[in-house]
Amino acid sequence: MKTNINAVLKQLGIEEINPAYSTGSNWGKTNSEKAIESQSPVDGKKIASVQVAAEKDYNFVVETAQKAFLEWRKVPAPKRGEMVRQFGEALRINKEALGTLVSYEMGKSLQEGFGEVQEMIDICDFAVGLSRQLYGLTMHSERPNHRMYEQWHPLGIVGIISAFNFPVAVWAWNTALAWVCGNVCIWKPSEKTPLTAIACQHIIEKVLIANEVPEGVCNLIIGDRIVGELMSNDGRVPLVSATGSTRMGKAVGAAVGARLGKSLLELGGNNAIIISKDADLDMSIIGAVFGAVGTAGQRCTTTRRLIIHESVYDNFVAKLVKAYGQLRIGDPLDQHNHVGPLIDKDAVASYLDSIEKCKAEGGKFIVEGGVLSGADYTSGCYVKPCIAEVKNDYKIVQHETFAPILYLIKYTALDEAIALQNGVPQGLSSAIMTLNLREAEQFLSAQGSDCGIANVNIGTSGAEIGGAFGGEKETGGGRESGSDAWKAYMRRQTNTINYANTLPLAQGIKFDL
C-alpha cells in the first residue's frame, strides 16, 4: 500500500515543517543549527527535517506558559472541559489522517495507529466529565463551630516528555487531564517522531483560537536530550511527566527530586502471562501472540515472557509456533500485515544483540529471529518475531528488549509461577489465563502479581483509559489516564473555617491572654 504522506501532512495543516516550538498559535523558528530528521521505518525515506530548539527558545516557551497559567487557572473547570471536548471532536475529524501519520512515522500497524488516536478521543471524553468533578472531602472538626474540607488546585506548568512508541496518545493522557485541572503544558515529544507532535499542535491550534485561550496554555518544543534535562532541572516546572526507558526515568526522577519537584514516571515493563493448566488455550494464543508482536514488540506492555504449566506446555507451544508461522510482516499501512518494522536500525542492533546474549546464556530458540531483506523491507528495520526457551534468571530475560522476542518458561505450581512473574526488576503489566476461580483470585490478591496492572483472561497490552495506568518497581510508580490519576496534576489544600465568636485551639490547648 502506497501512501501519499505529503497529502496526509497537508490535510493535517502542516504546510511548512520547520518550527522549533509553538506556544499555541505562535510557531517559532530558531537560530540553532541543530535539526532532527524524521525518517520512516516503513520504507527508510526521509519525511522532513525539523529544527531543534535552543535554550533561549525553551526559556521563551516557559515564560509564555507562566503568564498563561495566571489566566488559565481562573477559567472555571467546566469551561476548560468544553475546550477539551472540542479538541476531542477535532481529533474525530482528523482520526484517519493522524492515525496514518502515526503508522508511517513510527511504524505501528494502521489499525494500531487509528487505535492510538481513539485513545486520545477517549481521554478527552473522560476529561470532560472530570471537569465537573475534581472532588474534595469534607471532614468533621473536633472544634465547635468549625468546618474542615480539602480542595485541589492546579500546579502550574506540567512538562511532558513522551516516547516514540505511543507518540501522541500518552501526550493526550497527560494534557487532557492537566488542562481540566487548570494547568498549562509543555510537550517535548520523542526525537524519533516529531511530525506527529506538530500535527497534534496544528489540530489543537484551531480550538485554542476559537476559544480565545491564552497563548502558552498548550506548548510544543522540539528538542533532544538537552531540552529534557532543562525541563527536569527547571524549578518553574512543578511536575514532569516522563515516559520512556528506566534509565531515562531514573535520570529525570533524580533531577526533579533534587529540586523537590514532582515526577510522574511511566518506564519499562517486562510483562508475563501465566498460562495455567486450566486455561482456554485457543483464547490464550490470541492474547499471547498479539501481546508479543503488537507494535513489533515496542510497547511498554508488550508480553515478553510466557510462564506455562508443564502439563499443557507442549500442546500450547505447538499452537504458538503454528501461529507465528502465520504472521505477515511488512508495510504497516497494509492492513493485511500483522507486524511492522522496528523504529530504527539502532533498535534492530539491540534486537540482534539480545538474541546473541540469550543464546550465550543457554536459550534455545524454537522460532528463529533475524533481519528481513528484499524489496518489501528496504528500510532495514523489519525483523522476525522469535521465541526462545529460557530460564527466568538469565540476565537478558531480566532486561527489557524493545523488540518481538518472546521467552518461554515452564512451571509446576501456581506459587512458583507467580514468583517467576514477579521475579524481574520491572512491574508494569501481568496476566493469567485460567478458568479456575481460585487461581484467578490468588493472582489478583496481595500475594499475587506485584504489577500495577494485573489481568485475568486477557493479555498484558491494550489498557482502557478508564483505569489508572502505570506500574511499580523500576516501572516508576506513576499513574496516568483514568480513575483518580488526575490528582497527580493538582496540589491538595486543607481548609478550616471558624464561624464561632471564640478561637478554640486543636488538641484542647489553652492559650489565654
- Relative to beta strand 46-51, strand 35-39 is antiparallel
Cell 491494550: give the residue. Answer: 462
Q: How many CA atoms lie within 13 A of 53 on its CB side?
A: 31
Q: Is residue 419 classed as helix, strand or coil in its secondary structure?
A: helix
Sheet holding 303-309, edge to edge: 364-367, 386-389, 405-411, 303-309, 271-275, 429-433, 453-456
Q: Is 266 in the active site?
A: yes
Contact 241, 228 (CB under 8 A): no
- Note the maximum CA span of the chain: 91
**Catalytic: which of 105, 112, 116, 266?**
266
- Report the half-sphere exposure of 21 (CA within 13 A, side-chain side): 29
Q: What secondary structure letter does DSSP report for 274?
A: E
**Helix/strand/coil for 352:** helix
Instruction: Answer whether 134's CB lies under 8 Å from 104's CB.
Output: no
Please report where in the chains the cell 482528523 appears, as a residue: 94
d(CA 253, CA 274): 32
Which residues on adjacent β-strands are paired with residue 209? Answer: none
CB 66 within 8 A of CB 81: no
Backbone angles phi, psi at 287, to 5 degrees: -65, -40
Radius of gyration of the chain (CA): 24
Q: Which residues pair with 433 in a beta bridge?
A: 275
Question: Phi and psi at residue 178, in whole multiples of 5°?
Answer: -60, -40
Residue 354 exposed, middle or buried by CB count within 10 Å (0-12, 13-18, 19+): buried
- The answer to whether 339 and 293 have CB atoms below 8 angstroms apart is yes
Task: Output the CA–CA distances (angstroms, integers) from residue 314 to 22, 266, 281, 364, in the order listed.
Answer: 56, 36, 12, 15
Residues carrying an active site annotation:
266
